[in-house]
Each structure stands twice: as C-alpha cells, then as structure tokens.
Structure 1
Amino acid sequence: MTIKVVRGNPTPEELAAALAVVRARAVTASEEPSTTEAPRDAWSDPSRIATHRLPHPGPASWGRTYWPS
C-alpha cells in the first residue's frame, strides 16, 4: 500500500497519525465477517404464503386444479 500526500506539507507526526488511522481501519475491516448474503426477510419466506400443505394427487385431483376463492 502506498500513501501519497497530494497537498500540503504534513509533519512526520501528522503523517504517522494518519497512517495509524488507516491501519486501524484496515484491521477492523478485515476482522468483520463479510456478509455477502443479506439475511432473509420474513416477507420473502415461502412458509408465510403456504400455511397449509397442498392436496395430494388422487382420483379427483383434476377437480382440484382450480381453487375458487
């Protein structure tokens, strides 16, 4: 990693303080677990929609293909 001063003339103490902050942030970021997958929301849970089991196919299953409300 290279740090370049673009403007100004920092003193060695200011540069050391800035470097300490950058290193501390890098260590903290590497310790946190990366969560690429967001936790599932209750609205996207399929069990919320299908609260009861679907009927099993049987002799009269053709009549259950349409569920009137």
Structure 2
Amino acid sequence: MTETPETTAMTSADIRVEKGLADPEEVAAITAVLLARAAARPAEAPTHRPRPRAGWRRLEREGGFRAPHSWH
C-alpha cells in the first residue's frame, strides 16, 4: 500500500510545544505560517552592503584652521 501525504503520520516530532496544550489545528496553523514566511524569504542575501558613514572625522585630513564664526 502506498501512503499519500494525507495518510502519512509523523514518526518523529518536528515541532514541539514547550508550554501549554496545542490542538493539532493550532500546530498546523503555526506550521503553515512558518513555512509561508520561509518560502517568502529571498533566496540569497545581497552580496554588497554599503558601509554606514562614520560619525567622526580624521583630524589629519582637515584643512587646518577654522574661524570661530564659521559653520564648518
């Protein structure tokens, strides 16, 4: 006899309820949500992420004197 997905029983626990009592419908619902989120995730991450700009400046690259009344 060949088993179809509807008649196949889980032999090992893939999902375990740590606290409380979950009905089979609740376990099926959370499994469906987790599988949908996993399928919606992009296959691969972007290879190049731009670096954030540093919030500080290197003083040796500054022009030197700044007048006290200037903005920069």
Instruction: Give TM class, smaller chain.
Output: 0.3 to 0.5
TM-score (norm 1): 0.45
TM-score (norm 2): 0.44
Q: Which has the higher contact order (CA 8 A, sep 6+)?
A: 2
